[in-house]
Amino acid sequence: MFVELLYPASLTAQELDVYLANGWFRMGQSIFTTNFLRFHDKFYSSIWLRIDLLNSEKSKTQQKIERLNAQFRVEIQIANPTEQHEELFSKYRERMTFDPATSVKNLLFGHHNERDSFRIFDTFEINIYDKNKLIAVGFLDLGEKSAAGISCFYDADYRKYSLGKYLMYLKMDFCKQNGFHFFYPGYFAPTYPLFDYKIDLAKPTLQYLDFVSDVWIPFAAFDSSRIPIDLIVEKLRTLSEILDSRGVKNEFKFYDFFDADMIHNLNGMGLIDYPAFLFCFDIDEGSRFLPMVIYDVRDEQFHLIICTTVYKSIFEEAPEEHYNAYLLQILKFLYTGEIVEEMADVIEMYGRELTNLET
């Protein structure tokens, strides 16, 4: 699956290590993974990152930022969010270009917000003070040999101090001092600059989780021409062009509900989690059964499938080349093939059969 969310009743330090090593991350008191993201109606790939702490050394940038912030007091302790944290987070939240959690408690405890004694994560907080004023906060979860950086926020009046990066370096140092092997800063999204700071934290020992091989690879080997979402779109658009040249009706769509499994009430329904597909044939809009083609970069295959509609959307009509009319489930796989021309042949054949049935 490309998107998955779990609600463990408990989580040991060793189990967290395994989840992190497989590209999972915390959300409230749940844990999730996703390979795709959508910001402002544009789709991106999420590339999971980790830093090899055993071989990392302080960069010149880290040393410079440490000197810049030497005047401030740092306290590290078990996470215990207070009103001070909430006030600082509320101010920080106003400047965000996407929708973050509504509060610190929501960030850490999710739908358990009202009973925050429920904790499956061993979470620590790093507080930075200018005298007695709280100016920055960072949270991290500890496993046995790994740790994950969860969130950082700070007072905008202190932006010249690079407090976000400083918090990340403090987290890494805390983990190294306590014998951890890996630090997981989450994901970055190629061509979406908001997360690019993560790839500059410790480049010599930075690794990324390869989507196809499921292996951690030095980031220096990252190939920007093999970004999964770009490959999916490229393959489907090539197929669309071939079908257009043959007069076969088709329509490329980004699927706005690819991450519906992340919604608490929809979790576990097995909804389709592909970020894009190609509608095939001339099907009535109200039809329950929708033939389409998906492309899976993991097996490098096109798949002709039948989807069924589950729930009708309550949202306004999607932007051009987006689909949000219904939540969808895969009903049946009809054909799988690697070669785009062969897939076009199969679709053309099915199209003729449907036309003959109608006449």
Give every CB contact of residue 1 below 8 A, 6+ residues apart in sequence. Answer: 261, 273
- Nearest alpha-carbon partner for 211 in 226, 192, 233: 226
Query: What are the extents of the domains in the chain?
Result: 3-223, 228-358
Question: How far, CA to CA in Å, does 69 sit from each of 62, 129, 131, 242, 296?
Answer: 11, 10, 12, 58, 47
Give every CB contact of residue 45 below 8 A, 6+ residues apart in sequence. Answer: 35, 36, 37, 189, 190, 211, 227, 228, 229, 230
pLDDT along the chain (359 residues), means of 10: 90 98 95 94 96 94 96 97 95 76 89 64 97 97 98 94 96 97 97 92 96 95 95 98 94 95 83 94 75 95 94 86 94 94 92 55
Element of type H or E holding 134: strand 133-142
Helices (H), 4-157: 13-21, 60-68, 83-93, 104-109
Helices (H), 178-323: 228-245
Q: Return the pLDDT at 359.
A: 40
Q: What CATH number belongs to 3-223? A: 3.40.630.30
Q: Return the pLDDT at 304.
A: 95
Q: Return the pLDDT at 117.
A: 59
Q: What is the C-alpha separation between 58 and 64, in angstroms, rounded?
A: 10
Q: What is the C-alpha separation between 30 and 28, in angstroms, rounded?
A: 5
Q: Return the pLDDT at 231.
A: 97
Are 259 and 273 within 8 A, CB to CB?
A: yes
Q: What is the C-alpha separation between 330 and 261, in angstroms, rounded?
A: 14
Q: Return the pLDDT at 99.
A: 66
